[in-house]
Structure 1
Amino acid sequence: MNPVNFNKEGSQALLHFEDWGLVNYDTAVNRQLQYVEEILLGTRPETIIFCSHPPLVSLGRGTKKEDLVSWKGQVVQSSRGGRATYHGPSQIIIYPLINLNKKRPHLKEKDIHAYLRLLEKILVSSLESLGYVGFCGKLALKKNTEGLEKTGLWKGELKVASIGIAIKKWVSYHGIAINYTKDKQAFTGIKACGYLSDTITSLEEIESKLVTKENLIKALSDNFNTFLQ
């Protein structure tokens, strides 16, 4: 695990950033829970974690029986909200460990729905800063999803990132999975968040030029600092 801090020089930002690299899913969840306890005790600042996982499917609290169609790989139960989804090394995973019991200019305290919308806004703003336009979150989505959950990052009819969080004593954990590069294994044999695999895409597949992972993480870090002060 290699801590990485992307705060701008001279910034008064209180967020701490870490890059865990490729890490086992269960290990990542256990570390998050340890960090959440430290945040609650006041011994750790709010922390944004970047990482990726070996291929697996996690089953959120809202998973339905029909979500697992023919997936043959690892399956884990997860405490996050949402349904079944894929995790793999082709993704950028972001785990924001944020105290929602805190007043902020861009977020009311103890407002989980507003927090989800803010996470979407951070994704959209980060991509716009890199020249990627046309992305939106739940509220701007025009796709008819037939009652399915629309939280996430979309471009047109295609979903590029999923969001699923858990809350412990008003500190959030779990978070965001951005589909960064094309992955043939991703989303095969499952209905991710209830959607068929042809609804899910990656940044690489829909943009003519793919920004480096380092530049995308830097843009995301800047926007987390901006919107979660």
Structure 2
Amino acid sequence: MADLIFQDWGLINYDEALKKQNDLVEKVHNEDLPGFLVFCTHPPVVTVGRATQAEDVFAWQGPLVEVTRGGRATYHGPSQLVIYPILNLSHTRKGRKDREINPYLKVFEDAIVDVLKTYGLNGIEGRSSAKQNLNRHDADDTGVWVQDHKIASVGVGVRKWVAFHGAAINLTFDEKAFQGLRPCGFPPEVMISLEQLLKAPVDVKEFKEKLKRRLLEVL
């Protein structure tokens, strides 16, 4: 089976990135391609997923975009790495017909966990004890956590059995990020960055290369 095609869009407005995602969904479906792996960053924006509740966005001052992914409202900004796998769910690494979203989500989250291990951090998938520890049973427990803090938000959509949207990983600290909202239904202080966890500057280029290599291995 052919490999995913990697693209790095750099800093790109969310609306433009969403249009490019939609174009790639059509391309993957029409040409029966395995898919694309996209890295990028966005200027500050809050995206509102299908499960968003009224109290999730209460004082956000920037752009707000409604999207078709799962999950609740969350922030995207320059302090993050955003990953969009545009993945044909009719393909797997073994070439079987699959079309299941939950195994894909687990593989996606596990790849982020694997990269965090290279920094000496024990990340865990969202569907674990993290949400119970916070006693927030109505919140969105997807993503990747380190202890009781969320470092990566994950929300995907599926159209024509092609997965799109993806994950936002907090790499550097930005005190203005997550202000005026409850990201994924949690208090803003639940969110944490790799820089805060390491208590040291993050080599973003190195992190991107590690995650790119791991995702291309497993997706």
Both proteins in one fold, TM over 0.5: yes
Report the CA distance between 1:141 and its aligned residue: 3.3
Report the CA distance between 1:104 and its aligned residue: 3.2
Match of 1:64 in 2: 53
Q: Secondary structure at the match of 1:70?
A: coil
Distance 1:191 1:142, change over 3 A: closer
- Which ranges of 4 or more aligned residues in structure 1 deviate by more than 6 Å? none
Residue pair 1:13, 1:225 contacting (<8 A) in 2 also? no
Matched, 1:141 2:132: no
Distance 1:196 1:107, change over 3 A: farther
Match of 1:183 in 2: 174
Distance 1:107 1:201, change over 3 A: farther
Match of 2:36 in 1: 47
Write out aligned runs for 1:1-229 (5 A).
Answer: 14-42=3-31, 46-105=35-94, 109-128=98-117, 130-144=118-132, 145-228=136-219
User: Which residue identity does 2:179 align to in structure 1?
Assistant: T
1:182-223 deviation digits (Å, cap 9, x = unpaired): 011111110111000011111111113444111111111111
Distance 1:226 1:59, change over 3 A: same
User: Which residue identity does 2:76 align to in structure 1?
Assistant: H
User: Which residue identity does 2:122 align to in structure 1?
Assistant: G
Q: Give the Cα–Cα distance (whole angstroms) in 2 for the partners of residues 193 and 142 of structure 1.
A: 13
Q: Give the Cα–Cα distance (whole angstroms) in 2 for the partners of residues 116 and 65 of structure 1.
A: 26
Q: TM-score, normalised by structure 1?
A: 0.88
Q: TM-score, normalised by structure 2?
A: 0.92
Match of 1:5 in 2: none
Distance 1:142 1:197, change over 3 A: closer
Gaps of 5+ in 1: 1-11
User: Which residue identity does 1:171 align to in structure 2?
Assistant: V
User: Which residue identity does 1:178 align to in structure 2?
Assistant: I
| Percentage of pairs with the same residue | 38
Q: Give the Cα–Cα distance (whole angstroms) in 2 for the partners of residues 71 and 25 of structure 1.
A: 16
Q: Give the Cα–Cα distance (whole angstroms) in 1 for the partners of residues 70 and 179 of structure 2.
A: 21
Distance 1:61 1:139, change over 3 A: closer
1:67-111 deviation digits (Å, cap 9, x = unpaired): 012111111111111111011011000000001112335997121
Residue pair 2:57, 2:73 contacting (<8 A) in 1 also? yes
Distance 1:134 1:35, change over 3 A: same
Gaps of 5+ in 2: none
Residue pair 1:187, 1:197 contacting (<8 A) in 2 also? yes
